[in-house]
Amino acid sequence: MNGVLDGIRVLDLTQMVAGPLCTLLLGDLGADVIKVEPPDGDASRQIGVNRACGESDYFLSLNRNKRSIVLDLKSAQGIDTLKALASHSDIVVENFRPGTMEKLGIGYDVLSTLNPGLVYCGMSGFGNDGPYRDRPALDPVIQAMSGVMQLTGTPDSGPLKAGVLISDFVPPLFGTIGVMAALYARSSSGKGQRVDVSMLDATVFSMIPREGFYFSTGQTPGRFGNAHYQISPWNTYRTRDDRYVMVVAHAEKFWRSLAIAVGRPDLLEDLRFKSNGERLAHREALEAELSGAFAADTLAGWSERLTEAGVLFAPVRNFEEVFADPVVRDGIVQSVRHPTAGDVSVLRNPIKMSANSVDIRLPPPLLGEHTEQVMQTRLTRNVR
């Protein structure tokens, strides 16, 4: 089966995480992604170098299904080559600071004149306008600016960043959606367009529905750790063997199942816990009761009992446990053969399609591995 974007060419001028994730997704969907790197390579090649071969974990995770070429965009020859490539491409994705591409003479206005069907996606920290336009941005900066960090942690911990790169992860999802929408529009209009995604905007958007509480009450939700600000019980509990179990009772049927499963049916008759509102009002008392109950058995014991009772729960697992799980290991982990790193485990795209493939076709490239190949064929292809 072919990918949805089979025959679509992408010029990838991105580095680090957010931009490369957008082009990875396009590549997974079948696009021919040409990664344009400076002579010293994508900056992420120098981060997370934990392999004897010197390859970066960051780069290997984010750059499969791409061909790498080296272009010096500080030189006239490099700019001319980029223009020639853009003239025969469908999509350009870049995550320079706003204005950088224009200073180089390869901004959207220039490239779209050369190729009116070009879809141009710009990803930046704070967007193309406004007082923050020229500020540098990385994931923790955006987590802080967006309010995500203020929501993360406990009252005693102070603000904490999320354990995953949420501000690097969410924006490229919107970038990919925007690019796909622009391609669809082009199929009827024949014209490309510019797509812009701000990391700040995308991360603020990711807080839905938390913003609804603020808009309706004027109050900023507090930091509740693993608890929920409007639902109780919803928390992690320590077990007898010092493991943790996550329990959610967002509906009354799950609250009843939980109380019975932990051997405390009496809690169902306690007026303090009769409704979600009452449970929120008496959260500390309820947490004490449940914490005491969960401390009486091991994680394995609770997993069996909660499963049988139909409780909405999960053990809190470490990476070793996650990737030993056949559901995860066989469903989303794939080994690819890299020229210097050997067999490398990467994560498959979670999208599954019945009539099109979503495959890993190429391992992450070496720096400039495909320069000669691309240069030889750059002018032989018409935009689809």
Q: Which residues are catalytic?
A: 168
**What is the distance, to the nearest Å, from the Cα of residue 370 to the centroid of all Cα atoms in its chain?**
27
**Tally of CB atoms within 10 A around 338:** 19
Reduced to 3 states, what is the DSSP secondary structure of residue 35? strand
State whether the Cα torsion 150-155-156-161 is positive or negative.
negative
State whether the Cα torsion 25-28-32-35 is positive or negative.
positive
Q: Is 340 exposed, middle or buried (0-12, 13-18, 19+ CB in 10 A)?
A: exposed
DSSP string, 249-302: --SHHHHHHHHHHTT-GGGGG-GGGSSHHHHHHTHHHHHHHHHHHHTTS-HHHH
Residue type, 71: L
DSSP code at position 96: S
Instruction: For residues 265 and 197, give the distance between their C-alpha atoms in angstroms, rounded to a whole number.
Output: 51
Which letter, b or e, does each residue of 245-284 get, where b requires 16 or more Cβ atoms within 10 Å of its Cβ?
bebbbeeeebbbbbbbbbebeebeebeebeebeebbebbe
State whether the Cα torsion 121-79-35-7 is positive or negative.
positive
Contact 97, 132 (CB under 8 A): no
Instruction: For residues 145 and 258, give the distance between their C-alpha atoms in angstroms, rounded to a whole number.
Output: 38
Contact 233, 313 (CB under 8 A): no
- Phi, psi at residue 76, to the nearest 5°? -65, -40
Strand partners, 313: 247
- Phi, psi at residue 124, to the nearest 5°? -140, 170
Instruction: For residues 255 and 260, give the distance between their C-alpha atoms in angstroms, rounded to a whole number.
Output: 9
